[in-house]
Structures are given as structure tokens and as C-alpha cells.
Amino acid sequence: MDTLKIFVSFFLIFNLVLSDSLSSSSSAGINLLPYDFIIVGSGVSGSIVAYRLAQKGYSVLIMEGGGKSIAALGGIDYIGTKGTLNSDNVYTPQRPLTKYDVPFFFQSADINGNRWDIPNTNVAKMIGGSGLHNAMVYQRGIDSDYDWNITNWNFVDLKPYFLKVEKILDSNLQSSPDHGHDGFIKVKSIPFDKEGNDYIKSCNASGLNFNNDFQVNARTGCGFFQLNIDANGERSSTAHEYLTRAVAMPKVKLIDSATVTRIKWTFNIFTGKNEAIGIEYVTDDAPNTLKTLYCNKEVILAAGTLNTPKILFNSGIGDANVLTQSKYSNFIQPIKHLPGVGQNLQNHFIVFNVWTYADSSSRPDFYTNYNVNLQYQTQGTGILSTPGFSVGAWLKPNTSASSNPADAIMTIFPGALGSTLPGMMTFAVSLCQPTPNPINKVSLPINVTGLSAIQFYKKGVDVSFNPAAVNADVAKLVSSIQESRRIMSYPPMSQLSIPVLPDASIETDLQLESFVRNNIVPHDHWIGTAKMGSSSDPLAVVDTNIKVIGVNRVRIVDASILPKIPHGLLQATVMAVAEKCADTILNDYF
């Protein structure tokens, strides 16, 4: 009987593949069914999972909607070189660098169309994904952030993967059990700017103690951020550290400038479920032609929190009450009712505060101290080896609730380094863990009149997100701004700077609340739209084995599966989760 099942299943898939082969792409030099896994997305999670699967001998196809990025993977957006300086001070270039390799240029990494066309968002569209857009702050959440009430997914389960990812470079942390010491992602602090050191002095004077390690569970005090930057002063992203290793393997293929539109299905009469057999996609050089590629084992979605739901919607997975609406009937064939797809959208919020220098003499000019480019090119040090900032503080205005986690984190961007407003210091006050709000979600585009099938499939989701919707969150940001002002009232910062936005006249709670509501913006830390959950969770999209519920051979490994946003920054969590996802997949085949 088992032999018969195998034969019939193969017969069904073979006939579907054969009937579709005339529209299948062979232009990329790929034959039918040469790959075990197809991974959609080459960002933080896709890079890690691709490498781990390939490391075990599996053949992997990685599909990326964006184009080239870092030099090591064919990027040509060069901004300089690394090389040597001889005894006669003659510089010899040895290898090129792009803006995705040099940390200081992260603020320009999303220009030239290298982001998805989703209004009011900044989601990277390139090989390496948002791991090449971000400011490189490496910071996991506090332990309780991972209390998801999901079997095998809590901080105890995830900590080994945080350690597996990281290689801490700071000399004072080489024996720390809170850090990894053998991972691919290099992590270090870079205490370089005068304003940062002055800010720490003011924090200390205000009663905020110095914290020499922001990774420990007690998020308190001020200190230097740890950044994923290597010993050569270059970005240490998953593209640099995992994806380059993966594509060097003979069984791995990376196709860029190819947007995946849908999952291809066949119905398994024995399981009674639809199962994935491949993907449909369109390339930039043939934008009006749908092509198809197939896999032997699974389709793995790593397209990100805003794109993964769209692929699911296009593929017939989502709220059936929406998918069956007549306006979508020409585009979508519903196959599985999962109302949680697109729900549970979460993000951090930011309010920027601007201060000017009291006088020009108090504004340091780093550029007069040395040749910035030459120092970086030959030594990998100096301003260009940093994101342009180094310090921050956990803001906890309600000191009576000392056992509670910090409400917000404050980051100082020195004006001497070309911050948001040249010649001024910018402070970002970011809410650590906003209140989940059911109005925040992604959904199918409402206006689809006149769209062709390809135009519909490529069209981004509608994002409903209001960071000022919850009064308690606004109140926390108001208190955090007041706390940041209190810190700045102590020397030396009190002698160096003057508030500009909001200025000193904005001081009452009501005035600051108005300022927050008018200036609050979402961060780029989108999570949650295909959340992991137990069988009793009506909004769960994937189970504890990261399999999409109700269908076979589809998993999700990106930030969309996170049930709750962590404190601090996001990428360290996504990296650790991706490592655990890779093990989860491999465990099913060994």
C-alpha cells in the first residue's frame, strides 16, 4: 500500500509538472526538480536557513526580488576600496567596497529603489534584505520577551541559538556566558564619539549607572551599543557571513531580480491537503511573463513580515471571507482558511528629538583630525567603521516600578557625523514594547480595478498601522522624553546643547503628548503577520514546527512568525529564530 501511495503521488506531481513545463523557465539554466528546497527571500532569515540546509548536503534555490548589493555577491555600487599603504605612503587598492559593506553609509543604503513599493515603509529589496539597511545594533530581547506559551519556543530554547550566531569581539566579554564566541556574526562596541562619552557622563550624574553589556537581561543604565561590525570595520551581516558561504556551495543557486508571486500546489488525495510543489515568479527582465520552478521537498518563505502574507494571500491562504470576494476571483483560488494571515502586525515606534550645540566651539569636528578615507581603507578604523553613533540609555521614568522592564531606549546621533540635521544632535526615543493592537495589520490591496494578474500579484499589501492609537504607549513616550530631558539637564551635556525640537517651551504633559502624536513614526522592525501558535490559537498561521497550518510542504522562517515583538532591536532575535528554524527543518529529515 505504501508503494502504491508513493507511485500515485509521484504520478500526480509528474503530470502537473509536465503540463506546466512549457511555461516553466529554463533561461536561468535550471532544469525541472533539481532542488530540494526553494527559499523565497535572501534576507536575514533566508541567508541563515539556506546555508544550514546546504551545509547538510541539500540542494537549495534562493529567490530574491531585489538586485545585487554587497561586493562579495556581485554588487557594483562602489564607494571605495580596501588596500595597503607602503613606506612611501603610496596606497594600493586590493578589493572594492559598496555602501552595503561600509557601516557609516547605512543611512543611504535604501536609496536608488532598493526597497519594496509599500507606502510608509522602508523594507529592503536587495540580496541580503534588511540586514543591509539597518544600523547594525545587535541586541536580543529580555528573557520574558520569548514567553510565547508555545512548546519548545522560549528563551531557554532560544538562548543556544543566540550564542550560536554570535562571535563577541570585545576583550572584556571574552568569558561572558551571555555571548557567543564561535559564531559567524561578529559583534563589538565602538566607543568613538565625544558626544557619546559626554552623554554617558550626564547619565551618570543624573543617577543612571553605566552598563557594560546591553545583552544581559536587566536592561538598565547607559552604555555603548554592540554592533555587528567585524574586526576590519565592515558590516557583519547574514549576507556577508552566511549567504556568501552558501552560494559558494555547488548545490546552491541564487536568482536575484525575481519576484515570487505564488506557491504552486497539487492536491494529495491521501492526506486530503494541498501541498506545495514549487513557486511562480516574474523577473525584472521579463516583467510580463509568469515562470515556474519546482522543488522536491519544501517551499520556505523568508520574504519578510510584509511580503510573506502577500504570497500566502496570492496562493489562496488567508481569511476566506476576504479571499472569496468577487474582486479577487480572477486572481486567487482559496485553498485554506487561515484568518491570522496579515494580523498581529507589530513594530517599535520612534520620536526624534533635536538639540543644537550651544556654540560652534562645543561641536567637535572629527574630519580635521585625520584623513577619514585613508584611515578606513588601510586600517578599518575611524568614523566610517561605525554607523555614526555609539551610545544609548534605557529609559525607565517610573523608578517606583524598578522591577519592570525599561519603557524606552534613547540613542544619540552626534551632529558632527552628519546626522538627521547637520550641525545638530538627534536623539531617537524608541518605545521598547508597544501594546499589540488589532487594528494594525496587512491586507490585500483594496483597489484592484483594471489590474492584470501579474500586476495584482506584484502589488504590495495595504498596511494599516497607527503608532499613536494606544494612549498608554503615547504616555510612555511622553514620560521617556521627560526622562531624556532630565538626563540632558546634567553636565556636560547641559553646557553643550540646547533643545530645538521640541523646544523648551513645550513642557507640559499635554504639550508633549501633542508633540508625540504629531511626530511619532514606525520603526523598520515589522513582525507578527504569520504568527506561530498552538492548535488552540485561532490566529496562528504556523505550528511549532513552523509549518503553515492546513497545507503541506510550506514553512515560514522570517520575522512574520514572531508572536510578540522583543525589547530593543530586532535582528538578533530574527537571526536566532532562523537558526532554530533551520534545525527544526533538518530534524524532519534526519
pLDDT at 368: 45
- Dmax over CA atoms of the chain, in Å, equals 85
> pLDDT by residue (tens digit) across 426-450?
778 888 888 888 899 999 999 999 9
- Over residues 79-85, mean pLDDT: 92
pLDDT at 424: 67
The residue count of the chain comes to: 590
> pLDDT by residue (tens digit) across 342-377?
999 999 999 988 888 777 655 555 544 446 688 889
- For all residues of the chain together, what is the average pLDDT? 89
Q: What is the pTM of this model?
A: 0.92
Is 260 marked within a binding site?
yes
Is 135 marked within a binding site?
yes
Place of cell 500566502: 312
In the numeric block, which cell numbers belong to residue 577?
529564530
Task: Check whether 418 has a pLDDT greater than 50.
Answer: no
Is 8 marked within a binding site?
no
| 8 A C-beta contact, residue 307 and residue 121 | no
- Over residues 126-137, mean pLDDT: 95
337 burial class (0-12, 13-18, 19+ CB within 10 angstroms)?
Answer: middle
One-letter amino acid of 37:
F
- Over residues 122-144, mean pLDDT: 94
- Over residues 90-118, mean pLDDT: 86
**To the nearest whole percent, how much of the chain has pLDDT over 90?**
72
> pLDDT by residue (tens digit) across 230-251?
999 999 999 999 999 999 999 9
Helices (H), 327-465: 372-379, 453-458
Q: Which of 298, 183, 305 is nearest to 576 (CA)?
A: 183
Helices (H), 80-119: none
In the numeric block, which cell numbers belong to residue 309?
502574507
Distance CA 499, CA 494 (A): 10
| 8 A C-beta contact, residue 268 and residue 276 | no
Q: Name the region of 165 (left: φ>0; alpha: ψ -120 to 50; beta: rest).
A: alpha
For residue 414, report the phi and psi dihedrals to the nearest 5 degrees. Answer: -65, 135
The set of residues, in sequence order, having a beta carbon less than 8 Å from that of 31 and lying 6+ positions away, is none
**To the nearest whole percent, how much of the chain has pLDDT over 70?**
88
For residue 55, report the phi and psi dihedrals to the nearest 5 degrees. Answer: -60, -30
Quick check: helix, strand or coil at residue 457?
helix
Give me the numbers of helices (H) and strands (E) for the chain, helices first please: 14, 23
Is 137 marked within a binding site?
yes
Which residues lie across from 431 on neighbouring strands? 408
Q: Which of 568, 490, 524 is nearest to 129 (CA)?
A: 524
Is 123 marked within a binding site?
no
Task: Check whether 21 has a pLDDT greater than 80.
Answer: no
- Over residues 131-138, mean pLDDT: 94
Distance CA 585, CA 590 (A): 9
> pLDDT by residue (tens digit) across 177-216?
999 999 999 999 998 777 888 899 999 999 999 999 999 8
| 8 A C-beta contact, residue 49 and residue 300 | yes
Place of cell 534605557: 394
Name all domains of the chain by residue range, CATH numbers in brackets: 2-71+238-344+528-587 (3.50.50.60), 76-120 (no CATH), 191-228+348-435+470-522 (3.30.410.40)
Place of cell 506546466: 20
